[in-house]
Chain A
Amino acid sequence: MTKTLKPETAEQVLDAIKWAAGEGMPLAVRGQGSKDGFGRAVDIPHCLDLTGLSGIKAYEPSELYMTALAATPVAEIEAALRQNNQQMSFEPPNMGILYGGANGESEGSIGGAIGCNLAGPRRIQAGAARDHFLGFNAVSGRGEVFKSGGTVVKNVTGFDLSKLLAGSFGTLAVMTDVTFKVMPAAEKTRTVLILGADDAGAMVAMAASLGSANEVSAAAHLPEAAAALSGVSYVADAGQAVTAVRVEGPGPSVEHRCRALTALLKEFGEIEELHSENSALLWREIRDVRLFDAIDNQIWRLSVPPAAGANVVASLRSDIGGRVFYDWGGGLIWLSMGTLSDAGHETVRAAVADTGGHATLIRADADVRQRVPVFEPQATVLKDLSARVKQGFDPNGVLNPGRMVEGE
């Protein structure tokens, strides 16, 4: 019989997990449900629905951190930050659009963003979600309440449990609240566009931008098909590939850096510039992976050394086709394609393996995500070490078993 447990307090989360551990009954851990389609498809009858744990617990803008209950919607947090001209610098993406789950376009919860270690275009400058994650309260799979970290920006108090929980997809412990850094939002944003660069040229242009003293906060490349889907007319109507480089900061500084970047990049193609509003929309589209055609059902996220990105894409194009765009200066490739029964996983993984990269199957139908490893398979010793970590936190295997690795 399917059962949904909906705790309203951390104590009730503890009770639920103690019950599950005692009965050996696995729980599907769920926040706002915006990322239900992320990870291996698993069939867990009982759900630990955390939506009762929602709300901002502590936020004083001058403290530069916020504590929020785990299932607090990211949208609510961003609204509160916006009122104080602050932001989460890791730009958590809204995966709800990509998955179009039961809750429509829910932007997801802060616990989910951190639990999946998701970060947007500013990743290359500001770091991943885990780098902004200061501390938490949680219940382990053993049914122990514990906390780690706190509200300070650095500490060396034993094992770095925050880093371990970020990206653990709810398989080690259930966070009941999270504390993370907030930062002043930039006064001004501009995006320098290069029109018509091919993939290889764009990689060089992005590397030059990021290597310059202009404090670039994002760099992406949209081949013509991706650019055409943008809601920003300058991008969509370009009729050719668009490479985008973002600078943020105080007004005079941004203008100065835009001029310097224009001088640096003009050899790569015609230059255009986007102001605040258009910049915001374009980077939101890139962050939320919206620049793909609806006919493409399967989406891969490829992590590669930036210098290798264009070659990987060239080889994939000739092998399995599909459409791409690049973020993180070329280090992140979003690949979309029509439905393949094995999502082309061997081809995709072979192409990135040569570069020392890895591939994650971000979106595919559940039956595909049961057959195909969603996350890059690990070497034997690493797999064993990961299993020991899981064992240490959740020896009864009650938290999201199988979401990351089959059988664990």
Chain B
Amino acid sequence: MAEAKANKRVNDDLVEALRGIVGDRLSTTDAVLGHHGRDETYHTPHPPDVVVFPEATEEVSRIVSLCAEREIPVIPFGTGTSLEGHVAALNGGVCIDLTRMNEVIRVNAEDMDVTVQAGVTRKQLNKHLRDTGLFFPVDPGADASLGGMTATRASGTTTVRYGAMRENVLALTVVLADGRIIKTSRRARKSAAGYDLTRLFVGSEGTLGVITEVTLRLYGIPEAISAAICPFPDLASAVNTSIRTIQMGVGVARIELMDEVQMEAINKHSNLDYPLQPTLLFEFHGSEAGVVEQAETVQAIAAEFDASEFRWETKTEDRNRLWQARHDAYYACMALRPGAKGFSTDVCVPISRLTECIIETRRDIDETGLMAPIVGHVGDGNFHVIVVMDFENADEVARAKAFNERLVTRALAMDGTCTGEHGIGHGKIEFLTAEHGEAVSVMRALKMAIDPMNIMNPGKIVRL
């Protein structure tokens, strides 16, 4: 798995020089190194040689300069909740843990944007915004850092209405591979000065530079919010309802699918009593009248597809419990099989192919005999199969991987993608080649032009 283009190794001199920059905010203990080389999945951990905890962009710049001089790998780290081995130090190197850069720098309520340091988490930001009437919508399952969410181009349950990180990042401060600091955009939103460098870094997975500050678009908290939970007799009816809703252009804020296995998991995990049927969760945002109108439209569509009921969650606490249960879906799956862990797939297909893809996948799961609930951001055509398994059991791991390969092949045959939101890391490099072929060589040329020494998170997205 080592990167073809050789990196140099960390030595004591470098550690001392780093100490000159960050003082005691540095660690080489096994526990800390281990924690920083591991994500939430079955990928083999690859610990870095040293972890530093800078508090300012200028410190990051000095750290990267030092590494550049010595051709040492640099791996940016937020909360370590990525899923495709993004944080693995494949060739060792210096891990830059950004969690101490956790200051909300400036809220511009008037222009509805905010600038944060990269280590601020999404929940921390929304807590900070509580009194402003504004909120930040992108909500992946984990309480991830906004720098990490930017680097992995994260999305969430509200993407169908508010977009993902790529639509909501306005500007970045980035430390380049030679240590120089750039601000990618000015404050005026609709920027057209040169190439879109902001979005080049959104989703670059730490391979082009270290993101240290992020300016994000904010939204007004809607005047009215309502949510509904809607069980269906079968999976196809649920998915078809979501497709029809999107095709009619109803502006739902959230539309999420959970199959009956997942419903059982969240009932167990969160002590709830939802029916054990394929279920859609909806949320509507807007004016009082707008919300009612949207909900009525969707209710009519659901009825056409034999929804058994349309249960309203009008109280804020009921609604919060519903969405927390959805966000905990991944962890809830572990409740189905104590001691097991989850491995999540991530395909995305054009909305019109979604039913076909999900039904075939369900059949595949049943034939393979895996325990594997389905959850989906069905409004985006994206769904996850969470394979609940024993990572120590080689046979089970092999069966899960083979299942995932079939799933990706199926999605690609439907003009879909191998990853709607988790990214490439090093876990999906082979799939990227299968999906994009020649584009990989274009990405490689771009990587070499921007990081010629291949020190920025080497071995992720493209191998040099």
Contact = CB atoms under 8 A, between A and B. Distances in A.
Of B176, B184, B199, B202, the most chain A CB neighbours within 10 A belong to B199
A213 B182 CA distance: 36
A381 interface: yes
B445 interface: yes
B188 A146 contact: no
State the majority secondary structure of interface residues on A.
mixed
Contacts of B200: 159-160, 163-164, 389
Contact of A144 (B187, B193, B432, B438): B438
B190 A332 contact: yes
A167 to B, nearest CB: 6
A357 B417 contact: no
Contact of B190 (A183, A331, A375): A331
Nearest to B108: A305
Contact of A158 (B176, B195, B415, B432): B432
Contacts of B188: 303-305, 331, 352, 355-358
Interface string A172-195: 110000000001100000000000
Contact of A63 (B208, B352, B437): B352
Contacts of A405: 194
A340 to B, nearest CB: 22
Interface in A373-408: 375-376, 378-379, 381-383, 385-386, 388-393, 404-405
A159 B443 contact: yes
Of A150, A173, A303, A385, the most chain B CB neighbours within 10 A belong to A385
Contact of A167 (B196, B381, B446): B196
A147 interface: yes
B446 A393 contact: yes
Given A153-B381, A155-B417, A157-B424, A147 B436 contact: yes
Given A214-B287, A332-B190, A156 B203 contact: yes
Given A150-B417, A155-B348, A253-B293, A385 B196 contact: no
Contacts of A376: 193-194
Contacts of B222: 213
Of A168, A173, A213, A305, the most chain B CB neighbours within 10 A belong to A213
A375 B437 contact: no
Nearest to A162: B199
Of A159, A172, A375, the most chain B CB neighbours within 10 A belong to A159
A378 B289 contact: no
Interface string A309-341: 000000000000000000010011000000000
A62 B247 contact: yes
A49 to B, nearest CB: 24
B187 to A, nearest CB: 3
B195 A155 contact: no
Contacts of B249: 183-184
B17 interface: no
A64 B243 CA distance: 11
Contacts of A253: 289-290, 293
B307 to A, nearest CB: 21
Interface stretch (B2-10, B70-78, B96-104, B162-170): B162-170
- Interface size band for B: 35 or more
Interface stretch (A5-13, A29-37, A71-79, A125-133): A125-133
Contacts of A305: 108, 110-111, 187-189
B442 A156 contact: no
A4 B422 CA distance: 45
B22 interface: no
Contacts of B166: 131, 160, 163
A257 to B, nearest CB: 7
Given A117-B196, A146-B439, A168-B195, 12 more contacts: A150-B416, A155-B419, A156-B423, A159-B203, A161-B442, A163-B196, A163-B199, A163-B200, A253-B289, A305-B188, A382-B194, A389-B195
Interface of B: 108, 110-112, 152-153, 155, 159, 163-164, 166-167, 176, 180-184, 186-197, 199-200, 202-204, 208, 220, 222-224, 246-249, 251, 286-287, 289-290, 293, 348-352, 380-382, 415-424, 432, 435-443, 445-450, 461-462
Interface of A: 60, 62-65, 117, 123, 127-128, 130-131, 140, 142, 144-148, 150-161, 163-164, 166-168, 172-173, 183-184, 207, 211, 213-215, 250, 252-253, 256-257, 260, 303-307, 328, 331-332, 352, 355-358, 360, 375-376, 378-379, 381-383, 385-386, 388-393, 404-405
Q: Shortest 5 CB-CB distances between A and B: which pairs?
A: A356-B187, A184-B249, A392-B449, A163-B199, A213-B223
